[in-house]
A = this chain, B = another copy of it.
Amino acid sequence: MTDPADSTPAPPPPSPWERERPARTRAAVARTPLSRERIVEAAFTVLDRQGLDGLSMRQVAAELGVTVSALYAHVSSKDDLLELMYTRLFDGFELPRPDPDRWQEQVRDYARAGRRRLLSHRDMARISMAHVPFTAELLPYVESLLAIFRTAGLPDRIAAEAGDLISTYIDGFVLEEGMWRDRAAEQSGEDTSLARPDWREMAEEMQDYFASLPAQDFPHLRALAGMMVTDSSDERFDIGLEIILRGLASYLPDATKRAPSDDGRAPDTT
């Protein structure tokens, strides 16, 4: 805020012509007039840099070169801001036209896309977990998911629960991913930027710990040590997803046809 063109990445370029915008007598530089959109954008910047615990209204204000109280003219509270960020997550999420023959793949795509979006911003799963997509602008997305289930032929009770189930699964899975990442980061480097390869290191450490447990008390934990904590989370995510999908498929009227593994994409269980 000291000089024009300082704190934000792309302020209007200097433009020597138009000597207008005479750089207000105040410290505030002449810049676009602080909308909800700009606040949300700045909040994401702070979130990615400092995590949810470091996301304070003052930090967001500083990011914009503005005082805290200015934010409250556009955002009614911090919860309001978090809800805006949550809603923003769904922007551009593409809604498939339900196809009964491809419903499992459509759900898979939906879930994977959801996870990808949650991973696109630090601690986003924590924010997502604290909200429910029942605001007016998010209803189309839950409608779309329910459409897939219902047109696939699932009973209503099952379809209604399935939406909650996979949403919870996505959020919960990514949340746990984030916890592992945080734990790994805090264990070695304070600054998260340098502590990238320690994630793998921590997975090994955890495996070693499981393997070191007394064999008579923890036979199963030892046996599964290699699978409980693995660095390829993608695979784990797909497995959990597949379990849910199979459970749902068992409720289809013609369950016999597509029961165990028919669509050729289910991960093998070796």
Q: A residues engaging B (CB < 8 A)?
A: 129-130, 132, 134, 139-140, 142-143, 146-147, 150, 155-165, 168-169, 171-173, 175-176, 179, 206, 213, 217-221, 223-224, 227-228, 236, 239-240, 242-251, 255, 259-260, 267, 269-270
Contact = CB atoms under 8 A, between A and B. Distances in A.
Contacts of A146: 220-221, 224
Most buried by B among A147, A160, A169: A160
A157 B269 CA distance: 6
A161 B243 contact: yes
B223 A150 contact: yes
Contacts of A139: 213, 218, 221
A239 B161 contact: yes
Nearest to A149: B220
A247 B243 contact: yes
A153 B155 CA distance: 29
Most buried by B among A156, A247, A267: A247
B158 A224 contact: no
Contacts of A164: 173, 176, 236, 240
Total copies of the chain: 2
B142 A269 contact: no
B176 A243 contact: no
Most buried by B among A171, A243, A244: A243
A155 B247 contact: no
A245 B247 CA distance: 7
Given A218-B143, A223-B150, A243-B247, A176 B169 contact: no
A179 B217 contact: no
Given A139-B221, A146-B224, A168-B169, A248 B239 contact: no
Contacts of A162: 243
Contacts of A206: 134
A224 B236 CA distance: 31
A224 B168 contact: no
Given A143-B221, A165-B169, A169-B172, 10 more contacts: A130-B179, A142-B221, A146-B221, A150-B220, A160-B224, A161-B236, A164-B240, A246-B250, A247-B248, A255-B259
A158 B239 contact: yes
Contacts of A132: 176, 179
A74 to B, nearest CB: 23
Nearest to A209: B134
15 contacts: A129-B172, A132-B179, A139-B213, A139-B218, A140-B217, A157-B239, A157-B269, A159-B224, A160-B227, A163-B228, A164-B176, A165-B244, A168-B176, A169-B169, A247-B247
